[in-house]
């Protein structure tokens, strides 16, 4: 866009950070506890996990992150959700009909969460610094502001350089009764509807208007709403995680593109 100082909105976790690396200790702690609950050794669980993972990836469209009964993001949206889907699948197989799985998985998550670390994608420093220098950069994230500011300080060497961070954006929260946007869209190739009625996220974007681009790693959470508002969207892909239908959506897209490289994205935006 031809704005003098364009406002770019970026998601943070998974977009700027390397969630796979950040989650390594978390996953180890989670799986050790899960193995204990499932009465097996961590080694055995480690042998089963790739099978469950493969099964989910065979039909990724039917798995997802459910909030209030609606799928709001793919099961592979991030490594935490994917892990949850994998352990759920194994658990359901071992104890069919057990209704306490959701609560048990929440507990495992809470018990392991402090173990998550901080790691960045290649070119993250250049990406954040240059977008901030050449325009207005706003981080809009579901995470807590404090946590993201700490990570930004780590990336930028102790300072946050005044980059605005909007936390708790609740991009996952769908309210079917809110009438600000159509309930959903189903772009070609998508396995299920993508809900647009995310009033909390919509209000954040409206508050930053005009936004020239939104960059995120999960189309459904980060990009579907701004795309509908006519904003340029950029999907940052993660190998083995980003669903094919999200990547395909950006083939011949008239107002957005996709890439796994922050360096390449930066080159196209500046």
CB closer to Mg ion out of 35 and 266: 266
Q: Using DSSP, state whether 240 is helix, strand or coil.
A: coil
Tell me the closest approach of the beta carbon of residue 193 to Mg ion, in angstroms: 21
Tell me the closest approach of the beta carbon of residue 12 to Mg ion, in angstroms: 7
d(CA 166, CA 149): 10
Q: Which residue is nearest to Mg ion (CB)?
A: 14
Q: Hey, which residues does 8 pair with through a beta bridge?
A: 137, 213
- Extract the tokens encoding 71: 């799928």
DSSP string, 82-96: HHHHHHHHHHHHHST
Identify the CA nearest to 173 among candidates 225, 245, 230, 108.
Answer: 225
CB closer to Mg ion out of 45 and 235: 235
Strand order, beta sheet including 213-216: 164-166, 136-140, 7-10, 213-216, 232-236, 256-259
Tell me the closest approach of the beta carbon of residue 196 to Mg ion, in angstroms: 18
CB closer to Mg ion out of 11 and 18: 11
Calculate the CA 61 to chain-centre distance.
Answer: 16
User: Considering just the CA atoms, what is the radius of gyration of the chain in Å?
Assistant: 19
Tell me the closest approach of the beta carbon of residue 234 to Mg ion, in angstroms: 13
CB closer to Mg ion out of 14 and 226: 14
CB closer to Mg ion out of 48 and 215: 215
d(CA 213, CA 8): 5
Tell me the closest approach of the beta carbon of residue 155 to Mg ion, in angstroms: 15
Footprint of Mg ion (CB under 5 A): 11, 13-14, 217
CB closer to Mg ion out of 141 and 232: 141
Calculate the CA 41 to chain-centre distance.
Answer: 31
Tell me the closest approach of the beta carbon of residue 44 to Mg ion, in angstroms: 32
CB closer to Mg ion out of 91 and 242: 242
Cis peptide before 215 (omega within 30 of 0): no
Q: Residue 164 phi/psi, 5° resolution?
A: -75, 135
Identify the CA nearest to 60 among candidates 246, 253, 260, 233.
Answer: 246
Tell me the closest approach of the beta carbon of residue 22 to Mg ion, in angstroms: 11
């Amino acid at each position: 866009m031809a704005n003098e100082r364009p406002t770019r909105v970026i998601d943070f976790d998974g977009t700027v950070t390397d969630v796979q690396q950040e989650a390594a200790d978390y996953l180890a702690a989670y799986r050790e506890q899960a193995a204990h609950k499932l009465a097996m050794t961590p080694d055995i669980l480690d042998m089963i996990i790739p099978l469950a993972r493969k099964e989910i990836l065979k039909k990724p469209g039917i798995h997802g992150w459910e909030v209030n009964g609606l799928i709001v993001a793919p099961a592979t949206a991030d490594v935490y959700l994917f892990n949850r889907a994998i352990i759920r699948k194994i658990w359901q197989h071992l104890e069919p009909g057990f209704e306490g799985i959701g609560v048990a998985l929440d507990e495992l998550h809470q018990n392991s969460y402090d173990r998550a670390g901080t790691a960045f994608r290649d070119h993250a420093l250049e990406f954040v610094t240059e977008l901030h220098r050449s325009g207005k950069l706003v981080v809009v994230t579901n995470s807590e502001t404090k946590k993201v500011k700490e990570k930004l300080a780590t990336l930028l060497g102790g300072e946050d350089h005044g980059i605005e961070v909007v936390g708790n954006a609740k991009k996952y929260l769908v309210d079917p009764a809110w009438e600000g946007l159509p309930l959903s869209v189903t772009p070609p190739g998508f396995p299920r509807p993508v809900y647009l009625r995310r009033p909390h996220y919509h209000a954040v974007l409206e508050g930053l208007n005009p936004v020239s681009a939104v960059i995120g790693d999960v189309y459904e959470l980060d990009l579907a709403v701004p795309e509908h508002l006519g904003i340029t969207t950029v999907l940052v892909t993660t190998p083995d995680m980003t669903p094919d239908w999200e990547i395909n959506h950006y083939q011949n897209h008239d107002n957005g593109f996709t890439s796994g490289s922050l360096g390449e994205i930066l080159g196209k935006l500046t």
